[in-house]
A and B are shown apart, each in its own frame.
Chain A
């Protein structure tokens, strides 16, 4: 059994409401922080906890907080990244839908630690009903003196607002998010300057994922050292994993980092194994951007060690034989799934979501999409596979933001591990045309955009 630091009270009746949440010890971290701790002491606890950003990159949160510039007379901001649009990822939604007060509590303590007096939760526009849930929680917290002026008589003021986006994956990238919050197109900014120095309205800003913020109350209540005891090595604490694809029990699970992957995939407590008695083919363990792993490399690293659900273990072997924990979007494929088709699908996604500022990303994703379309529909040749490899290689590392890399990696990994499948498409054009996945119209008719 993994510990439940985030989801412990998820099944308590009326936990959406302030009363029930409070009766389970909710908001005690705010009392403790504002009455007995300095902002610096909180940052110190978060550093000790080893908590790493849950938005995908896994950057140590305490360190990020300590980078925040503190020029005199200029406001600082905390912005929560609830854009959650990485295919395969639906954990932040679960947290916000079921435990809105946990996020609000985390925002209050974190804002206090950073010295922010106005904070925003930027949530993807498609989660519009959750905007209502969060705004209700904010209003309740305010009515009970946990938000607004002079919180709990501490002299600390905080206003918290929920801001919906307009539908754009790129707004999950933190500088695009800030642009969007300023009422503009979501074009990522050149860095430096980093948001910690010039962020929202050119003021120092911290952007953190929902799950990162939600972990802070537990750390404040129980100390960073206690948090660091959970997990394995530098992967401390618990992590929400959203599991989808061809498994028996898709859903959101809180796991201790370091759980064996075999247990996560096959035990009935988690994914419950592959559905319909099919064979396990491959997994994308951390959201669509991370490399796909064939079953054998998922279970065991190239050195023959059993893999664990941790930042380090999933990345073991680098991109040659490993992948990444990423956002925790765990997508499972059974033997019937076509890797080429999935790669085409993901590439269409990145092409659609590219903001278009950098030519390698804008043109490269479109080019890869066309080549993949050709191969998937039985019209490719062997050179096309090498061409694909070449294009992805030229996108990676040559763009303003990491969306370019995110588009390149899935293509590279698919070719690296499933080259025979690409070759099969080239050698069997007729079969590619007729199999059609049970669809009525020709898949060639499916639009590019």
Chain B
């Protein structure tokens, strides 16, 4: 599997081409729509692409996806920039997305965001220096009754307390 490098930073920016099993999965998704409507696969495919590409979408990855779906690169960029789940910059190994919306705030979400910033040594919107964490403050995730809460990958961590945050961060650091 080849890698694409950013010529200025020499950082790996794209793990392309995709491995065969991922290509097969994408092929399966495009069959869910009528002939010629394969563009509908774009959002599901971007999720898979992002997961494969260390949690973010670089320009080469998006161009590659455009090629796979036989659409123009701009059609991919305009979608990737619209939806909040797509990261257009490199992220830490673990992305903690903490809810900041009203219902969660009635149960101390703002304090929890501050505590998480402090524990990870990382500001909202940024990555920690050790590359482990990215902290995002996000809008209501549909867990308002179980507040405060955060999303980590494909799962939610709910009823957050400082102790719970401590053990989560320690667990991730030692993984």
Contact = CB atoms under 8 A, between A and B. Distances in A.
A296 B165 CA distance: 38
Interface string A149-178: 000000000010101111111000000000
Contacts of A440: 114
Interface residues of A, number: 64
Contacts of B34: 75, 118, 201
A180 interface: yes
Contacts of A245: 103, 106-107, 144
B147 interface: yes
A169 B101 CA distance: 13
A87 B102 contact: yes
Contacts of B142: 84-85, 89-90, 92-93, 124, 126-127
Contacts of A169: 139-140
Interface centre among B75, B78, B144, B154 (most CB of A within 10 A): B144
Interface in B60-82: 69, 71, 75, 78-79, 82
A437 B103 contact: no
A439 B78 CA distance: 37
A80 interface: no
A244 B146 CA distance: 8
Interface of B: 32, 34, 37, 39-44, 46-47, 69, 71, 75, 78-79, 82-86, 100-103, 105-107, 110-111, 114, 124-125, 137-147, 151, 154-155
Interface of A: 75, 84-90, 92-93, 118, 124-129, 159, 161, 163-169, 180-186, 201, 242-246, 250-252, 288, 329, 331-334, 337, 341-342, 345-346, 349, 352-353, 355, 437-441, 446-447
B140 A201 contact: no
Contacts of A93: 142-143
B103 A85 contact: no
Main SS class of interface, A: mixed
A129 B154 contact: yes
Nearest to A90: B142
Main SS class of interface, B: mixed
B82 A168 contact: yes
B102 A345 contact: yes
Contact of A250 (B37, B86, B145, B155): B145
A330 to B, nearest CB: 9
A169 B85 CA distance: 12
Contacts of A161: 32
Contacts of B39: 182-184
B168 to A, nearest CB: 17
Nearest to A201: B37
B83 A167 contact: yes
Nearest to A84: B142
B114 A441 contact: yes
A331 B43 contact: no
A129 B46 contact: no
B79 A183 contact: yes
Interface centre among B75, B141, B146 (most CB of A within 10 A): B141
Nearest to B37: A201
A89 B141 CA distance: 9
A441 B117 CA distance: 12
Contacts of B102: 87-88, 288, 331, 342, 345-346, 349
A331 B106 contact: yes
Given A87-B102, A183-B79, A128 B154 contact: yes
Contact of A183 (B40, B101, B147): B40
